[in-house]
Structure 1
Amino acid sequence: MSSIADLPGKNTAQPKNNWKSFVTLINKAKPSKTMLAIALSFSLVSTVVGLFVPLFTKNLVDGFTLDSLDSYQIILLVCVFVAQTIAGGLSIYLLNKFGQQILSGLRDILWKKLLYLPVAHYDKEETGGLISRVTNDTNVVKQVVSEHMSGFVTGIISIVGSIIILFTLDWQMTLMLLIAVPLTLIILVPLGRKMHQISRNMQNETASFTSLLTQVLSEVRLVKSSNAEPIEYGRGKSGIDKLFKLGVREGKIQAFIGPLMGIVIMALMVVIIGYGGLRVANGFITAGELVAFILYLIQIVMPLGQITSFFTQLQKAIGATERMIDILGQPEEDQSIGSDVPVADSDMLLNDVSFQYDNGDAILKEVSFTVPAGKITALVGPSGSGKTTLFSLIERYYEPQVGNISYGNHEIGRFSLTSWRSQIGYVSQESPLMSGTIRENITYGLSREVDNEQLRNVAKMAYADGFIEELPDGYDTEVGERGMKLSGGQRQRIAIARALLRNPRILMLDEATSSLDSTSERVVQEALNNLMKGRTTLVIAHRLSTVVDADQIIFLDKGSITGVGTHAQLVASHELYREFAEQQLRYQEHSI
């Protein structure tokens, strides 16, 4: 997968490097440079044609009589305007298409990058902020190219061309005109820098606000069950107010720039008309030349607004570029590096594994045990003892800081991620589903075709075929966001069917029945029994029934193994385990 880690980071880049990074990022999107060249060519044609209109007008004014007005002049003028209109329209269309190519390319790069970033990255980043990078920041970059770059390029050509022609008409009036340029820049440059700072803050706040919306709306049931609407409204209102204040500050600068340009234009008009009228009266220039001078003045002043707008938007785009480059520079998982997992089933060995999350306490401390092939190993222990973290290490979401995990005679880090993870089936308490149909969720992640017979077989083994066939659309029933249209037991059975279809060698169960009612639990447990047959199984156990049937029990406490054995052995030798078993027995008696 392509990487742009060589791009300068946002903390060290200087303005010129930011500009270079902006161009490099555009190139990564692979837009058609030919299309850009054609679009700018049409813009230049439109601009150059426009430069000759004031000269034509000058000749028309100086020699105007009804007899001198030939039809060819009128036809020529109409043709010039038509050509200018067509060229301008084609330029706008092609630039917009070019911008859409950039937008699509950048989103493609970022989306692929986000999918291949390790889980550890998402522990540090808010999802809404990442969404804002893909949606808002890419659009800011696109707008610079498709909506503002043409105005900048043609504006420069128009200004330079107009000034050259004006020097040929009257160099004294032209020098007087140019005095206003440095005075205007002295004011506009600091304002542009201030706009850059505000724009970056605006984009950061937009990302934070998007993150809040994503978090709250995805957990709206929790919000309502907790009567937390006023709290979340307050958090959202705070973000809205911050965006409002930044928007007002941005508006203040724009409100200053607009009238400033208006004053400059009006002052120049007064000076040119007054001084030009005096020079016409003294015979230094003709009336037609004065009219041309005024028209060229307009062709100089109007692009100044476009150029100012371009630099304002460019500052926003550079800020957006820095954040995108920061994401694209992050190390990612390489799915293909490594060998395939050997065909033969093997024991899995954890050897002195220690792990801690960034800037946190140790979660696992020198953990060592063997998971026998084809057997059931249960992980038992109080909350926070490291059971789920062990699952994450086996899935290779994280790498242990000390020690290693082996499968057979090979460390699992030697296997490609694609090959290793294809050996694992994972069923959790939540059994997350993707928005889509039941068929899409059962076959999720598989690149091969799955026929209806295979689908029905795994659904039957998962005891899911009964409720699926009762649904109006059967396997094509939409499950809703995160599967909310299905019950907990139904979601569990869909997840089990998915695992059965993958036919994994290693099965990891985060006590998939612990949150179900007794009826659903019995059905799901039967489905799990079908799934566990002949497979190497690791179970995070919360219920005694699961533990009793295990071939091996690992008791974890505060990240360390304090007991290994069968149920009978641990009841006899391990006090904490005995308490766990007695609590479960009392719970079962109470439930009955």
Structure 2
Amino acid sequence: MTGKSPKRMREVKNVEIKGKKKKTATTKDFFALLKKLKWPIGVTVVALILSLAETIAGLVIPLITKDLVDTLSSALFSWKTAVLLFTIFVVQAITGGFSHYMLTYIGETIVADLRSKLWNKVLRLPVPYFDGNETGETMSRITQDTTTLKELVTNHLVTFISGIISIVGSIIILFFLDWKMTLIMLISVPVSMAIFIPLGRIMHKVAKGTQAEMATFSGHLSRVLGDIRLVKAYRAEQTEAAQGEKAIRTLFGFGLKEARIQAVISPVMTLTMMSILVVILGYGGAQVSRGALSAGTLVAIIFFMFQIIVPFAQMASFFTSFQKAVGATERIQHILVMESELPSGIPAAPSGKIRFDNVHFAYETGKEVLKGITFEAQPGTVTAFVGPSGGGKTTLFSLLERFYQPTAGEISIGESPINTIALSDWRAKIGYVSQESPLLSGSILDNIAYGLEIRPSPEKVRAAAQSANALDFIEAMPDQFETLVGERGMKLSGGQRQRIAIARALLYNPEILLLDEATSNLDSGSEIHVQEALVRLMEGRTTLIIAHRLATVIHADQLIFLEEGKVTGVGKHSELYNEHELYREFAKGQGLS
């Protein structure tokens, strides 16, 4: 429903959404999520094989280089060795290129699957979730958090595996070449780990904070840009700019924290690597000069040193990315484990009278909005709800559409409680026209036919538009039914939007019609056209109307007066006028008798 008051928005943020409680994600949860995703198994196996081939080629290159350098020093240059070395370089380049493309393909495939799962889940979450979460934050989960997961798989996961193989293979070969120099290199590992582990934990907290703040900032942007006309109408640009600036400064602070950590990691890595290089060159040079070590072996040792240090440096990046992905998993899982709206139930929705039996409802525990509502609406009749604002009229419609569940009592149609009916079948029975009737970006045709599984014929669309008094203004436009309505239909007038909404409802052909102040915001000229269209729409349908202007519902089959969530009067206009004091005051205030 549209038009929530600030008070109601505060209330709905506290709605308890049934489902599993949010918990901190673990590595186990992360891998459990990966298992649920659609992995291209064949491509993954080939990518792993190619990455392994690239890694093995990298391990072979130093050994061949060793032989090549030794032949140079002995003036017996081996062209065969040079050609072999060049061939391995080519093989490494080709396998690296193909594996990179395949890893990207894998990452894109699983993130597409994850986004599809999230999108379908979000569309089926109950309305209270959207009441309590800003749209931009949910968008951030589907876009940014899934991208974080993709980057880990695409850029780091297989690199991490091949890096371990490269490190282990290099160390084993180095022990055979010169075990003393290998021990010198390995001394740097615990020193580096002592620095990286605490820094990695800090990086995890910083990355998690950055992602949370980015989601909040996205929510702020979505809210402000979605209501930009309100912002401009009330000259709130400066206020919103200040709030946006605050979020930007917070993100800036997180960025600097991450930069400070990287500023420590990078020099430490460089210092470690250069120190080892100097020690190896000095010690190895002395060994070469004494004849205890060949020049080729020294070159091979230096190569293998890089085969260890480079993957080791990449692992630091992997752990940072991994921590980000685990944090993203926590937020993604929070959505995936929520209970969706229950689609199951009686497959065909029954017909009959609509009955509210002692229905109670509260957005927040202890603050009831509806207090024991009881009434009946007979098939084909018109029931109008009147009374002071805040009496619970719109909430009553929300319960009927099953956006929320009553906290007590029962709503039924015929002899069946509506919560036992398949949700899609139940909502297929209902047509809803509100006081604002927002449209979606797209054409007039898209909006009239919105939600229908089968695209209606042009004749049916024209007939619906004509019955809704919309055909004349549509055909007067240059693009007619293909006219773009703009964001939320803002290129059209309020009366035009209402008539398109009525045409949509006519095409939908509902059994139950809900009208929420459908003519309250219109000028007299538009109201006449809309009122005529509504009369056609109401024919033969069970209609429930929310109205503040009693003149529009004075001839309803029954009027129900709601005050502070209670029914205080039921009857026709004349009955309530004679028996209900507050209704009589309303009627006199509007010039009715």
Which bin holds the TM-score, normalised by the shorter protein? over 0.9
Residue identity matched to 1:463:
N
Aligned residues: 576
Q: Where does residue 438 of structure 1 map in the other structure? A: 444
2: CA distance, partners of 1:395 / 1:572? 33
2: CA distance, partners of 1:197 / 1:545? 61
Q: Please state how far the C-alpha of 1:12 moved relative to its aligned partner.
A: 4.9
1: CA distance, partners of 2:338 / 2:47? 35
Q: Where does residue 357 of structure 1 map in the other structure? A: 363
Q: 1:266 aligns with which of 253, 256, 274?
A: 274
1:464-505 alpha-carbon deviations (Å, 9 max, x no partner)? 000011111111111111111111000000000000011111
Q: Where does residue 475 of structure 1 map in the other structure? A: 481
Is 1:117 paired with 2:125? yes
Q: Where does residue 459 of structure 1 map in the other structure? A: 465
Q: 1:404 aligns with which of 410, 415, 423?
A: 410
1: CA distance, partners of 2:523 / 2:231? 24
Contact 1:544 1:585 (C-alpha < 8 Å) held by counterparts = no
Q: How does 1:294-305 map to 2 (within 5 A)?
A: 294-305=302-313
Q: Please state how far the C-alpha of 1:38 moved relative to its aligned partner.
A: 1.1
Q: Where does residue 169 of structure 1 map in the other structure? A: 177
Q: How does 1:150-169 map to 2 (within 5 A)?
A: 150-169=158-177
1:363-412 alpha-carbon deviations (Å, 9 max, x no partner)? 00011000111110000011110000000000011110110011011111
1:496-527 alpha-carbon deviations (Å, 9 max, x no partner)? 00000111111000020000000000100000
Is 1:182 paired with 2:173? no
Provide closer, same or farther for how the CA distance between residues 219 and 421 of structure 1 changes in structure 2, counting only shifts above 3 A. same
Q: Please state how far the C-alpha of 1:283 moved relative to its aligned partner.
A: 2.9
Q: Where does residue 448 of structure 1 map in the other structure? A: 454
1: CA distance, partners of 2:292 / 2:179? 12
Q: Where does residue 545 of structure 1 map in the other structure? A: 551
Q: Where does residue 208 of structure 1 map in the other structure? A: 216
Q: Where does residue 6 of structure 2 map in the other structure? A: none
Q: How does 1:108-147 map to 2 (within 5 A)?
A: 108-147=116-155
1:246-276 alpha-carbon deviations (Å, 9 max, x no partner)? 0100110011100000000011001111111
Is 1:69 paired with 2:81? no
1: CA distance, partners of 2:517 / 2:101? 58
Residue identity matched to 1:583:
G
Contact 1:29 1:101 (C-alpha < 8 Å) held by counterparts = no
Q: Please state how far the C-alpha of 1:549 moved relative to its aligned partner.
A: 1.4
Q: Please state how far the C-alpha of 1:56 moved relative to its aligned partner.
A: 1.0
Residue identity matched to 1:509:
L
Provide closer, same or farther for how the CA distance between residues 27 and 157 of structure 1 changes in structure 2, counting only shifts above 3 A. same
Contact 1:459 1:494 (C-alpha < 8 Å) held by counterparts = yes
Q: 2:419 aligns with which of 413, 417, 425?
A: 413
Is 1:340 paired with 2:348? yes
Q: 2:205 aligns with which of 193, 197, 207?
A: 197
2: CA distance, partners of 1:367 / 1:61? 93
Residue identity matched to 1:544:
L
Q: Where does residue 246 of structure 1 map in the other structure? A: 254
1: CA distance, partners of 2:81 / 2:297? 18
Q: Where does residue 314 of structure 1 map in the other structure? A: 322
Is 1:255 paired with 2:267? no
Q: Where does residue 301 of structure 2 map in the other structure? A: 293
Is 1:384 paired with 2:390? yes
Is 1:11 paired with 2:23? yes
The alignment-based identity, stated in percent, is 51
Q: Where does residue 377 of structure 2 map in the other structure? A: 371
Residue identity matched to 2:222:
T
Deviates more, 1:284-293 or 1:64-73: 64-73
Q: 1:529 aligns with which of 528, 531, 535?
A: 535
Q: Please state how far the C-alpha of 1:582 moved relative to its aligned partner.
A: 1.4
- TM-score normalized with structure 1 length: 0.95
Is 1:90 paired with 2:102? no
Residue identity matched to 1:58:
K
Contact 1:508 1:538 (C-alpha < 8 Å) held by counterparts = yes
Q: 1:493 aligns with which of 484, 496, 499?
A: 499
Q: Where does residue 565 of structure 1 map in the other structure? A: 571
Residue identity matched to 1:283:
G
Residue identity matched to 1:46:
E
Contact 1:355 1:362 (C-alpha < 8 Å) held by counterparts = yes
Provide closer, same or farther for how the CA distance between residues 238 and 302 of structure 1 changes in structure 2, counting only shifts above 3 A. same
2: CA distance, partners of 1:332 / 1:311? 34
Any gaps of 5 or more consecutive residues in structure 2? Answer: 1-16
- Equivalent residue of 1:363, what SS? strand
CA RMSD of aligned residues (A): 1.6
- TM-score normalized with structure 2 length: 0.95
1: CA distance, partners of 2:430 / 2:33? 37
Contact 2:67 2:81 (C-alpha < 8 Å) held by counterparts = no
Residue identity matched to 1:237:
E
1:142-166 alpha-carbon deviations (Å, 9 max, x no partner)? 0000011232112111111110000
2: CA distance, partners of 1:278 / 1:312? 40
Contact 2:65 2:85 (C-alpha < 8 Å) held by counterparts = no
Residue identity matched to 1:335:
P
- Equivalent residue of 1:430, what SS? coil
Q: Please state how far the C-alpha of 1:79 moved relative to its aligned partner.
A: 1.0
Q: Please state how far the C-alpha of 1:428 moved relative to its aligned partner.
A: 0.2
1: CA distance, partners of 2:22 / 2:52? 35
Any gaps of 5 or more consecutive residues in structure 1? Answer: none
Contact 2:557 2:572 (C-alpha < 8 Å) held by counterparts = yes
1: CA distance, partners of 2:486 / 2:32? 40
1: CA distance, partners of 2:80 / 2:274? 36
1:121-170 alpha-carbon deviations (Å, 9 max, x no partner)? 11111111000000100000000000112321121111111100000011
Residue identity matched to 1:380:
V
2: CA distance, partners of 1:9 / 1:89? 44
Provide closer, same or farther for how the CA distance between residues 90 and 28 of structure 1 changes in structure 2, counting only shifts above 3 A. same
